[in-house]
């Protein structure tokens, strides 16, 4: 483990010790989702974000032309324009402007671009005093910290802490009553507006067709900053350009709803030219900031991040952010988009630990108003990081020497099944590991490798004559070697439906562990092996019992093998016929003979696996299966909240974060009182079963296919 990683993990442990902050971030996230759903009621969110994505892509593909047009239009209105190649150039322009005017005090409204280029220290270095006037930003400034969220910068602080900070300013013991604190801020900051020589704002939108700017805020401070001081500076990234006012209106329909779950923000301030001032000369300076944005626009794999509206919603729903907060899961920008922006605006080194901290749950993808597949981009950044730093000696050997060699890989797992017996209890679990492995079983049990793999057990299943359909089962590592009973249950259901199930012998790991570690070469080799294995015989469909494997076959294999014309065609054909077991079986219900309804336990709750719901869009189908089999379904709170497994994330990656996320999921499950929790991902099953067993709780955990098979006559 590198010194950088050790330092980062220490920060994680310190953040996880702050239970008060974790609880607050969870409460906020839950309240946000409920309010957001209400705010978008009656609107087609998916259609709106597709329109925004197309519009932002249009600007990105020809951003220089849009910049040039904006400059011409803004200059017509009397604005002075400066294009800053990087943060240093932007800071030099603004500080020299301040010096030319003899400015001593600058008031600022919230600007993440200002945080990005460290504008405040640059101004202070030339003798200026800078006062943040957004309430959250002022609080953070008084605390000597940086924002922990793009929209709510002081979300990590509590009102008693704020009262203490304000007391240091006023010299009095301040009440922590929120209304009182707001009044203290208003009274204290009012004189700063009147005495300021320069006002500095950001902008949410820069409209090309007329050179105007829009500020979206919930406080009146931005208007004072923009209109009271004699010099107004707007620092805005070139990625904030939109072609027309109509495009701006489209974003304004979505931005407040996604950012703060409001139908509309309190203020939308439009700026075109210097604010009028009788008997006074005023100036408007617009600093168009590149600072890595053009590099992002030209990136083949990451360019979609140019679309970002800076709504901050990806942090609101991120289980990692809720566990450790933005000061740890962020550099300047936080959350999933912060990982990407950090890599392009501050360098890959600054983003290295953030890249590995992402669990890949795709909650950010689901909620993004610009339709950015952030998980896909972060996987690409992991590849870049692996190319630069490697995947580590252990992973390098496992991926390149073992995973690529199916016979060696499978042989080692068979040997491990025999060697693990001294550590395995009667329930097939490993409750304790010795020496430096012991942390892995401190808060959960681990599943033992099955005595016999799935392929051996399926070979003993009876044949079906004159089947209706013929499908190939892709088992995946977990179902093959750890939970073969899932595959056997699938075979049992197929037999009941008169469907022949075949198990191609040369299939192996889907390659996701290697891909998520950044080893694309190994992932591509495994994709090639599996495509050959699964397309050797005539079948009607390929069915998986693991949604992560489904994602590999449908989403990742085509990309990994795109440069191989022959394999690309076969991969596309494979992707077209591949589906998850729940999706496949739900279409077969009309052919399902009557079932035996279960006795006790009879109540089941369902956990939505991340890659099933958000990766494949499958969530109604397993519920349909369970209900058709007679199970009484009781929904838990946050059924689609990540369980914390994340493949190797919970073992080799970030086990401390995984534990925090898993404990949240456990509370949701236990809150239902259900006797059984169902899930369709073997990884989720192992995680949930391990949590429950470690705490000696009686709740059973099963794959929905197992519960369906249990009801067969």
Q: Which residues are CB-neighbours of 302 under 8 A, at least 6 positions away?
A: 296, 340, 343, 344, 377, 380, 381
Task: Give residue 589's pLDDT band: very low, low, confident or very high (50, 70, 90).
Answer: confident
Please compute the mean of the pLDDT values over residues 117-132 and round it to a whole number. 97
pLDDT greater at residue 453 or residue 438: 453
Task: Give the pLDDT score at 431.
Answer: 80
Read off the pLDDT of each residue in 42-47 and give the average, rounded to a whole number: 96
Given a cut of 80, is residue 279 above it in pLDDT?
no
Q: What is the structure's pLDDT at 598?
A: 60
What local confidence, expressed as pLDDT, does residue 497 receive?
92
Cα 178 to Cα 21, 136, 144, 288: the distances in Å are 18, 13, 21, 37
The H or E element that residue 214 is part of is strand 212-217
In this model, does residue 363 exceed pLDDT 90?
yes
**Percent of the chain having pLDDT more than 70?**
98
Inter-residue contact 111 to 201 (CB < 8 Å): yes
Residue 600 has pLDDT above 60, yes or no: no
Residue 438 is predicted with a pLDDT of 76
Confidence of residue 395 (pLDDT cuts 50, 70, 90): confident
- Locate 427 and state its tokens: 């329930």
pLDDT tens, 543-574? 999 999 999 999 999 999 999 988 999 999 99
pLDDT surpasses 90 at 599: no
Q: What band does 159 get if pLDDT is binned at 50, 70 and 90?
A: very high
Joined tokens for residue 214: 């829009």
572 vs 574: CA distance, rounded Å: 5
Domain ranges of the chain: 45-291, 310-389, 454-709
pLDDT band at 82 (very low <50, low <70, confident <90, very high): very high
Q: What is the DSSP letter of 654?
A: -
CA dihedral 364, 366, 369, 375 (to 10 degrees): 40
pLDDT at 399 exceeding the cut of 90: no
CA atoms 92, 94, 95, 98: torsion sign: positive
The residue assigned the tokens 């005495």 is 195
CATH (residue range 45-291): 3.40.50.10420
φ, ψ for residue 225, nearest 5 deg:
-60, -35
| pLDDT recorded at residue 503 | 96
> Residue 705's closest CA among 616, 592, 610?
592
**Average pLDDT of the residues in 340-349:** 96
* Residue 366 CB neighbour total at 10 angstroms: 16
Tell me, what's the pLDDT at 549?
Answer: 97
At residue 436, the pLDDT reads 64
**pLDDT at 649 (0 to 100):** 92
Segment 212-222 shows an average pLDDT of 94
Angle at 560 between CA 557 and CA 564, to 5 degrees: 105
Two structure tokens written together for 491 = 């075979």
Confidence of residue 333 (pLDDT cuts 50, 70, 90): very high
Residue 142 has pLDDT above 60, yes or no: yes
Q: Look up residue 264 and give its DSSP letter.
A: S
pLDDT at 339: 97
Instruction: Check if the beta carbon of residue 202 is closer than 8 Å to that of residue 116.
Output: no
Across the chain, what does the average pLDDT equal?
A: 94
Three-state secondary-structure class, residue 441: helix
Q: What is the pLDDT of residues 428-437, one digit of tens each?
A: 888 887 766 6
The DSSP letter of residue 402 is I
Name which of 579, 576, 577, 676 is nearest 626 in CA terms: 676
Q: How far apart are CA 268 and CA 254, in angstroms?
A: 13
Taking the C-alpha atoms of residue 12 and residue 320, their distance in angstroms, rounded to an integer, is 10
Confidence band, pLDDT 50/70/90 cuts, at residue 594: low
* pLDDT higher at 643 or 463: 643
């Amino acid at each position: 483990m590198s010194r950088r990683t050790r330092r980062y993990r220490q920060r994680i442990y310190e953040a996880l010790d702050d239970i008060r902050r974790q609880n607050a971030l969870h409460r906020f996230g839950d309240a946000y989702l409920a309010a957001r759903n209400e705010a978008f009621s009656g609107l087609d969110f998916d259609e709106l974000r597709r329109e925004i994505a197309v519009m932002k892509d249009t600007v990105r593909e020809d951003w220089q032309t849009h910049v040039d047009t904006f400059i011409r239009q803004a200059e017509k209105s009397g604005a002075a324009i400066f294009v800053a190649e990087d943060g240093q150039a932007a800071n030099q322009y603004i500080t020299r402007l301040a010096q030319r005017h003899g400015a001593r005090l600058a008031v600022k409204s919230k600007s993440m671009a200002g945080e990005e280029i460290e504008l405040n220290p640059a101004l202070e270095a030339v003798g200026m005093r800078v006062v943040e006037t957004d309430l959250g930003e002022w609080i953070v400034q008084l605390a000597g910290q940086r924002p922990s969220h793009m929209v709510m910068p002081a979300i990590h602080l509590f009102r008693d802490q704020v009262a203490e900070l304000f007391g240091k300013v006023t010299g009095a013991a301040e009440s922590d009553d929120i209304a009182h604190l707001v009044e203290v801020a208003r009274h204290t900051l009012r004189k700063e507006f009147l005495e300021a020589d320069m006002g500095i704002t950001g902008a949410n939108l820069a409209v090309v067709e007329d050179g105007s700017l829009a500020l979206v805020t919930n406080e009146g401070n931005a208007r004072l900053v923009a209109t009271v001081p004699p010099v107004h500076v707007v620092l805005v990234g070139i990625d904030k350009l939109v072609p027309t006012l109509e495009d701006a209106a489209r974003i304004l329909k979505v931005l407040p709803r996604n950012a703060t779950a409001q139908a509309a923000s309190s203020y939308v301030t439009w700026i075109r030219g210097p604010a009028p001032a009788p008997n006074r000369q005023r100036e408007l300076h617009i600093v168009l900031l590149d600072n890595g944005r053009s590099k992002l626009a030209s990136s083949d794999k990451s360019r979609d991040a140019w679309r970002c509206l800076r709504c901050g919603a990806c942090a609101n729903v991120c289980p990692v952010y809720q566990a450790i907060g933005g000061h740890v899961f962020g550099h300047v920008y936080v959350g999933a988009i912060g990982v990407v922006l950090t890599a392009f605006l501050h360098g890959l080194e600054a983003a290295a630990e953030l890249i590995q901290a992402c669990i890949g749950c795709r909650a950010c993808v689901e909620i993004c108003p610009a339709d950015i597949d952030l998980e896909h981009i972060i996987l690409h950044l992991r590849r870049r990081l692996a190319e630069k730093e490697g995947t580590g000696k252990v992973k390098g050997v496992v991926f390149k020497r073992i995973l690529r060699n199916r016979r060696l890989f499978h042989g080692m797992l068979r040997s491990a099944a025999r060697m693990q017996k001294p550590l395995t209890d009667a329930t097939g679990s490993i409750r304790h590991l010795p020496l430096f492995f012991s942390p892995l079983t401190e808060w959960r049990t681990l599943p033992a490798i099955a005595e016999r793999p799935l392929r051996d057990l399926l070979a003993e299943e009876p044949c079906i004559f004159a089947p209706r359909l013929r499908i190939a089962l892709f088992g995946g590592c977990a179902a093959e070697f750890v939970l073969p009973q899932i595959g056997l249950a699938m075979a049992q259901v197929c037999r009941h439906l008169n469907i022949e199930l075949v198990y191609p012998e040369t299939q192996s790991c889907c390659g996701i562990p290697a891909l998520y570690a950044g080893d694309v070469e190994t992932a591509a080799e495994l994709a090639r092996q599996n495509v050959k294995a699964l397309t050797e015989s005539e079948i009607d469909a390929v069915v998986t019992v693991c949604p992560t494997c489904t994602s590999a076959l449908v989403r990742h294999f085509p990309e990994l093998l795109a440069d191989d014309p022959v394999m690309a065609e076969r991969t596309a054909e494979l992707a077209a016929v591949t589906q998850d077991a729940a999706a496949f079986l739900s279409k077969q219900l009309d052919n399902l003979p009557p079932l035996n309804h279960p006795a006790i336990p009879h109540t089941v709750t369902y956990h939505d696996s991340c890659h099933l719901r958000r990766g494949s869009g499958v969530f109604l189908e397993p519920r349909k299966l369970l209900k058709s089999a007679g199970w009484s379904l009781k929904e838990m709170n946050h059924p689609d909240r990540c369980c914390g497994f994340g493949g190797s994330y919970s073992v080799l990656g970030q086990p401390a974060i995984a534990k925090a996320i898993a404990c949240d999921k456990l509370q949701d499950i236990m809150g239902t009182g259900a006797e059984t929790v169902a899930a369709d991902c073997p990884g989720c099953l192992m995680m949930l079963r391990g949590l429950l067993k470690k705490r000696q709780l009686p709740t059973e955990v099963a794959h929905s296919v197992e519960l369906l098979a249990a009801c067969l006559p």
